[in-house]
Amino acid sequence: MDDLERDKGEKKSRIFLSVMMIAQLLIGFGVAVAVYKLGSTEKYDRKIAAVKGEDMQWAYLAAVVFTRLVAWVNLYPMVYKARLMQFDSGNLRANMYIYKTPAGQPVLLDEGPEVGKYNRANRSLTHFTEWAAAMCVAFLMVAYCFPVPAFVLTIVYALGRVLHQIGYAAKGYGGHAKGFMLNSIANSTMEGFLLLVALKGFDIM
C-alpha cells in the first residue's frame, strides 16, 4: 500500500466509525420501539413505570453510554487497520497484532490448513470477549422490562456467535459475516431497549 491508499483507507474507516456509532443504536431503537408497540405494551409500561419510580432511568441511560463505549473501543482500531490492510486482504485481517523479529521481519498468524483454523477459532473467541460486556449489561437490565424479547435476543446472539466461530474457522475471513450480522442485530436491539426505557423514564416518549 502506498501513502495515498493508506490515507484513503483511513478516511473511509473514520466515516464508517462515525456512521456505525449512530446507526447501530438507531436501528436497534427502531426494532425495540416496534416490539414495544406490537407486543404487551401495557405490561411493558408497568415495568417501565417501576423503573421510573426508583429513578433507575439514569441507570438505563448509563448502560447506553457503556454499550456505546464498548462499540467505540472495538471499532476504533479499524481506523489504523485500514492503513495496514485492504478490505480484500483476506485472512491477514484476522491478525489482532503484528509483531516483528529483531531482524525486522513481520510475525503474523499461521494460516496453515489446521493451525489457521485453530487460530481463527480463537480469534472468534477473543472477538466474543471484546463485545460480551455490552451484551451482559444490556441483558441484565432489559430482561426486567422486556423478559421475552431479552430471551429471544439472547438466542439470536448465541446463534450468531456460534456461526461466527464456525464460519471463521472453517472458511477464513468473510466466513464469519452471517454470524456477525446476527449477533450485531441482537446487541443493537438490546441497546435500543435500554434507550427506550431511558427515554420513557425521562418522559421524552
- What are the pLDDT digits (tens) for 30-46? 999 999 999 999 999 99
pLDDT of residue 19: 96
pLDDT of residue 59: 98
Assigned domain for 48 exists: yes
pLDDT of residue 123: 93
Q: Is the pLDDT of residue 113 over 90?
A: no
pLDDT of residue 128: 97
Q: Could you tell me the pLDDT band of residue 93, with boundaries at 50, 70 and 90?
A: confident
pLDDT of residue 26: 98
For the residues 53-78, what does the mean pLDDT come to? 97
Domain carrying residue 102: 3-200
Assigned domain for 117 exists: yes
pLDDT of residue 101: 81
For the residues 85-90, what does the mean pLDDT come to? 79
Considering Cα of 10, then 15, then 16, then 17, what sign does the dihedral take?
positive
Assigned domain for 205 exists: no
| Share of residues in the chain with pLDDT > 90 (%) | 80
For 188, residues 6+ apart whose C-beta sits below 8 A from its C-beta are: 24, 25, 27, 28, 31
pLDDT tens track for 133-163: 999 999 999 999 999 999 999 999 999 999 9
pLDDT of residue 183: 96
pLDDT of residue 94: 78
Assigned domain for 81 exists: yes
pLDDT of residue 90: 77
Q: Which amino acid is at 21?
A: M
Assigned domain for 45 exists: yes
For the residues 109-126, what does the mean pLDDT come to? 88
Q: Is the pLDDT of residue 102 over 90?
A: no
- Write down the mean pLDDT value for the chain: 94
Assigned domain for 140 exists: yes
Q: What torsion do the CA atoms of 141, 147, 151, 153 make, to the nearest 10 degrees?
A: -60
Number of domains in the chain: 1
175 vs 96: which has the higher pLDDT: 175
